[in-house]
Amino acid sequence: MKILVTGGAGFIGSNFIKYLIRNNPDYKIINLDKLTYAGNLENLKDLNDNKNYKFIQGDIGDEKLINKIVKEVNVIINFAAETHVDRSIANPKAFIETSVLGTYTLLKSALDNNIDKYIQISTDEVYGSTDSETFSEYSPFLPNSPYSASKASADLMCRAFHSTYGLNTIVMHSCNVYGPNQYPEKLIPLVITNLIEGKKVPVYGKGHQIREWIYVEDFASAIELTLKEGMGGEVYNIGSAQRLQNIEVVKTILSHMGKGEEEIEYVKDREGHDFRYAVNSSKIRSELGWKHTKQFQSGIKDTIDWYINNKEWWSKLKSGEYMEYYKKQYLQRK
């Protein structure tokens, strides 16, 4: 199998590539990544000498480059996206360019080159917020941020290319993913690294927003299974049913790291902050036999240990450009 992975230098993409090669050493993978602030080739340095792995720096919106690469593969898995909601509020255009126009470019090239399978990695945020129910694959899209709106648009484009042209597309909606190599603007790595540095932990509002959490290798296993057995035109929700308030996540990390609640700094809530995400993942479990294996308490401990042991990796990211962003987005909300 020859696979193009776009956005493969980011958190989920890099973990997936390592997982896939570990379990399928004969697969050939081309990793295309623009290397924006969240793309980091250090995530994949162990593969530098692997003859079945190749990295290309580039943009999924570059039609000429995409057509050249797609001729060499038979599967596309698209992780490429601008991902942080706060950044989408500040600059929606970048999200539209990557998720909407970039996805179109990939789909058009996939169609023109008779690709066997196209998998779109998406998010549960496309469904919007809910007080109590869980979202199925048939729930309506009600995105509330430019980020989730751009992802929903890309998902619908995948559906259209399947329905109109017969392209073998699959869309995967995941709950919140955590684990090693996650960029430290996200909640869990931000909390962990701030505590290691002796800094306060910023929490939006009172931290009562509820999120569902899955360990990155469990999500990688779902993608691998879908790659091998998923049906064209289908949508699969990926979740763990492990749902926690953000403040519970923070307090769990504090407990594991031997810190007290005095380390919390409550800041003004962000605009349009969704209250609760929750997906029903019974479809992929019943139809493909997938299951997650990592419980949150175990996964968060492994994640904390990784950040403690890899300070050199993340300390560079929390200097310079990142810190300016951090100050602007968080400290001004006090």
Active site residues: 124-125, 147
DSSP 273: -
Number of Cβ atoms within 10 Å of the Cβ of 323: 11
> How distant, in Å, are the alpha carbons of 37, 75, 100, 203 from that of 228?
31, 11, 26, 40
Rounded-to-integer distance, Cα 152 and Cα 128, Å:
10
Instruction: Provide CB contacts within 8 A for 169, sequence distance 6+.
Output: 107, 118, 119, 120, 158, 159, 161, 162, 232, 233
The angle at the Cα of 240, spanning 235 to 242, to the nearest 5 degrees, equals: 140
The residue type of 174 is S
Residue 235 to residue 283: CA distance in whole angstroms: 9
Asked if residues 30 and 6 have their Cβ atoms less than 8 Å apart, the reply is no
DSSP state of 73: -
CA distances, 324 to each of 11, 86, 274, 299 (Å): 21, 14, 25, 30
Sequence-ordered strand ranges (E) for 216-316: 235-238, 243-245, 264-267
Beta bridge partners of 178: 215
Q: Are strands 264-267 and 235-238 parallel, antiparallel or unpaired?
A: unpaired
Please name which of 178, 173, 176, 182 lies closest in space to residue 122, comparing C-alpha atoms.
173
**Nearest C-alpha neighbor of 158 from the set 95, 222, 220, 232:** 232
